[in-house]
Structure 1
Amino acid sequence: MADPQGFAVLTDDQCVGIAEMDSTHDEFLVLYAQARDADKASFATCLKALHDHTRDHFAFEEKLMNESGFPATSEHTSEHQRVLGELARFLERAQAGSQIMARAWLQQQVPEWFRSHLLSMDSALAAHLKKSEDPQYVRLRV
């Protein structure tokens, strides 16, 4: 599903080949678009849904990293903490009625961050999981 502003719902070249990760990334993009396009009355609610999804999304990836012995866990987790912290700060402002900065961040920063994070950090995690012969990771492959 194409996004009118060029931020696609997950193109084939953005799929990492781990079903649950790809599904979670798809959900992230849907929630992102809902928040980005929300009217003033629903913006904070949509941003909260994006925040909660992102928190759970990151926790799932961090569980995979920790359990599988992913060598770049520290760097990946630090990036998650940074982005989730930014999202939480913008959510707090939006809930207080200040939406301008949150909307600018969503439109200007999130798309490039997502692409970069997906194609570097998440792709590296997926490649690590695909190399594993552990049945719990083999079952995750697409």
Structure 2
Amino acid sequence: MKRGLAFQDEDHEEAVALVNAAQTCTDEEFPAAYRRLLDHTVDHLKREDDLMARIGFFAMEVHTSEHRRVIDEMHHYLDKLKAGDIAAVRAYVTDAVPNWFINHLDTMDTATAMFARQMGEH
């Protein structure tokens, strides 16, 4: 899972822990667990966006648009959670989030980290 950028690697480890916590908590604990995951994701993606802007990453627009899409999607599921549809949000956290995360790491984050390291980031 490590890509060689300290903040990114640490954030990704925390994201895995937050997904696991949301998947295994009780229904009573789930809203707070989902909110922690959402907040962490928003903060992390902002850090990545800031990095890409700072280093002039060539594929920044594609990568940041994917960040915006997933944040919008997570807020959509937050609305579902507020409406009481815990089952739908649990399914999202169990299926869609891990699949997206793995794909995103293997593609966009890997390319970003490689470029950032070439630009002297660690």
With the length of structure 1 as denominator, give the TM-score of the two structures: 0.82
Structure 2 counterpart of 1:62: 49
The structure showing larger relative contact order (alpha-carbon pairs under 8 Å, at least 6 residues apart) is 2
**Structure 1: runs of 5+ lacking an equivalent:** 1-13
2:15 to 10, 14, 28: 28
1:105 and 2:92 equivalent? yes
Q: Secondary structure at the match of 2:58?
A: coil
Q: Which residue of 1 aligns with 2:80?
A: 93
Higher helix share goes to which structure?
2
Match of 1:127 in 2: 114
Give the Cα–Cα distance (whole angstroms) in 2 for the partners of residues 19 and 60 of structure 1: 12
Please give the alpha-carbon distance, in whole angstroms, between the structure 2 residues aligned to 1:38 and 1:78: 31
* Structure index of larger Rg: 1
RMSD across aligned C-alpha pairs, in angstroms?
1.0
| AA at the equivalent of 2:94 | Q
Q: Within 2, Cα distance between the matches of 1:46 and 1:107?
A: 13
Can you list the C-alpha shifts for 1:87-106, whole angstroms capped at 9, x where unaligned? Answer: 11111221332111111111
Moved more, 96-105 or 73-82: 96-105
Structure-2 separation of matches of 1:50 and 1:77: 19
* 4+ residue segments displaced more than 6 Å: none
Count of residues in Structure 1 that have an aligned counterpart in Structure 2 = 122
Which amino acid in structure 2 is aligned with residue 84 of structure 1?
I
1:94-134 per-residue CA deviation (whole Å, 9 max, x = no partner) reads 1332111111111111111111100110010100011114x
Query: Structure 2: where are the runs of 5+ without partners?
Result: none
Q: Which residue of 1 aligns with 2:104?
A: 117
Q: Distance in 2 between matches of 1:71 and 1:132?
A: 12
Q: Quote the Cα distance in structure 2 between the aligned partners of 1:118 and 1:66.
A: 19
CA distance in 1, matches of 2:32, 2:112: 31
Structure 1 CA distance, aligned partners of 2:82 and 2:48? Answer: 27
Normalised by the size of structure 2, how large is the TM-score? 0.95
How many angstroms apart in 1 are the aligned matches of 2:108 and 2:88?
27
Matches of 1:87 and 1:36 in 2, distance apart?
A: 15
Deviation at 1:42, TM superposition (A): 1.0
Q: Which amino acid aligns with 2:30?
A: F
